[in-house]
Chains A and B, each alone.
Chain A
């Protein structure tokens, strides 16, 4: 290790009263696995390094890389000290402008991290070493991230014979793979507090690509509003974990914060206040922010349920009732949480307005994947609304479950037609939440698997799940009993805890493998096939925000979101216990980059990595 060349007496720190005091601790790597604190005095020959540097490559299998690469990982034992100002990035300068600009933005983000780790100034010439990064994409025309985009990359690090130049070669098929490579590279660099330089692992080979196509987080911005800065920070967090989908649940019955081109009434009536609106420009800004970070925005416009405030101006505009059961009392007879509201699905203006909303949204978001909502439609709301029951009577629709589902089916199909029209008649996949419509006795009557993907929020081992995968539907796992990040807190209607309690701890989330869940109901060959043909699209953890806003969302999202990030990128055979140290290190890295991720353990546990084991099970 490089440290043997440099005396330990450099470990000076300033303490109270301006006096300097020697740090008595340093770190060594035990069994090529765990970093452990040792007294400097116990290492008379030197050999200790700062904790962050130790963690870079102590574990020879994967260092502190997160998520775990899926291909080969070779990490050399040595690091090279350098300063951020001596890093160059090249390889993409001749690419078409759209891709070149993405590379430039990603390079700026990368160097931004380095400058934050070690601000410029006060350099020691003996560490004036170069780090030359070459990042390339063989397909240099792809600037849109879709579910088929190749996100693979390889990273090779070598050091020159004189030890003065480290070369990092990142080769990818697309920009999106290359930015993941840069993310990985950033995790092979640490701040060395003893020498006040950065250290980079100077020889390595990494081959990597994700297991699942859809690796997402969902954030609801209707129950409570989130500022643009907060949304950008969520996207930052996704990018650090190579998660590629931000599912933006933009409106709901509580508020309508989204500007719709040409229809100011939606926000005038529906926004919580004039400051709590996402303008068209705001949403464009988010899309532009997400792209160089390898994140695609999947917007959701939920219907026919979860629509309420924002739609109540219909009668005054001569359009009749656009919503029904709005704010109905007692709410629990007409919806699952206050305030109630469902679109008036027998009013044709509703579809015209949906068309306008979709057009407005697809003018901003990618037009290949769109979340149509579709969850928690309340049958009693429709069955107690005269306008609807009259229509049902006229059209021979029964008021039982069959009739109700046929209403949903016809709504969904009309809405999807509007969606296709809004995307200039281009194919667009509509994502739907599981509902009565997706029950195994109904789904294939109403939903064409080429047009729709299903986001599953039912319990993990619900029988509908393997059935719909068998039937050819593409699915996204968001089972509430593992992947809902809002559970476990105080009830917000009534007493006790929220409905989906308890809290979903990171260990549970980490072990939530879509492949395993499907294989459990079928067999692993079937699951392999479903993964290969894209039916097992991936998963998404969701933060519903009845009880979160700008103040405290980050500690709910992180580090638990990262646990899902690794599950979906790597889907390792191993469980959470093998990931624990890397999870903790990754959490610390996120905090250093400005994400207020929650703490997982006493800091002691990262200083003595093999000491915080659980008690043995009873009886042993």
Chain B
């Protein structure tokens, strides 16, 4: 090239020389002056110089530019290296700078290019990692701080990258953990839902819509997990509650089955209920075991069984009642309260006030008692039967004796005659029978300390009455005989006077002898009441009646025997009621167990009134009947004291016990009264 340029330069020089020669020729021809010629030449020289200067400047600028580029490249290279955490590849050693600037630039450029490419790749990696971190973070904690998408380009070192990778890895782990937790929760929830018969999908959708979707990624945020856990807790509570209910029902059911011998086939329908009776919460996994429907189904069954039980119990109670009544009837035992007892018991059982088994127990006890009693009475009762039969015969005989036509021969007259004969013999035995009976009964009563009753009537009274009636009849007969005798005499006298004989006075006898209607449908009436009241004209009774009534009153008052009440006793009952009500009026409306005496007086004299109250408590009604009228003072005492008591007063003692006592309203326990006494005593 140098060669070429020298050639060119040579050529240029020749050209310049030829131009100058040509110019001289022209000038010579023109005749230019020397000054003009010099001036032109100077101009030429100056123009040439200007061109040179421009070119040099241009070259200089190019060099500076080149240097700048190299420096920039080197700086960039260094920056990239430092960012990537690598030692600078290009060390600026002077030896390497032998080349000129262009060479230098050329050597740097590829390095730079290479580094740029690597940096770009690194940056891409960073972005990828950070994007992933960001995504997971958003999933895990959507509400919290989210790392930005911006990458800090000043630090793209491997270390940083590894750090990010670790972060990503831990996040991924956490995400997996959470996913696993959620899956666990979901499966638990599913189980619970199936056991409880709750729609799983809806429950889950309520917690977070994504959980239900099999395709979409599930929400794994803290909130979701918490909600899941809460839902599980809630369902588990419900499960435990229902399980307890189910087990309660199951045990009730078992009890009822056992009680009623429910057939196995019926039991088997509920085998899945009873098999869970002792299961723990975890053990119940079968679906729908605890659903509302199933529980109410079981509940219905229990209710049905219970109703069945109640009705069975009722039947049983009624059956036992009938048995008891039958026994009582057979033993001629009468218990007054028994009359409306079954109705009361049944209605009480129906209303649930009393446990049927309790009633049943009572009745059984009563049956046993009655049986025992009937056994002890058997001997006497048999004798009573005999006596009663004898009495019937006696009555019949009396009737027969009154029959005017009894000796008229008719059909079966001989039989009647025979019967009369037998009856006479039997009637004669009656006094002996009665005596033995009385002895037996007296012994029996002595042993047991209670009166022997027959259909509610004291048997001794019956016998006594019978004896009296018999004696009276006896007397009457005697009187009649005497009268007859007298009449006989009169007749004899009349006959002597008038020679005629009047007929014996039949009407008299028919009218006078009362019907002691023994036997018949109601024996009881005949002895107690009928003998005294039904007699049409009981003239012969008058003498005995007053004393006997008095005696009966005594009997009634002392033993509480109410056997005679049917006959004579509306009057008496009234008086009893009167006494009671009167007493209650006098006793005034006071609260149960309130002290009779004003409380304020307790510290001074507590013992007397309290004893009085217990005394009263112990009194049987009959005793009260007797006591109240005799002792009006006690009755009067209460209102008097109450009246004299001033209105609420304070009982203050050392400030320890201050009870404002309004007399009629305040009730006190034993302990309060004791403390009042205690404080008062000190």
* A, B bound: no
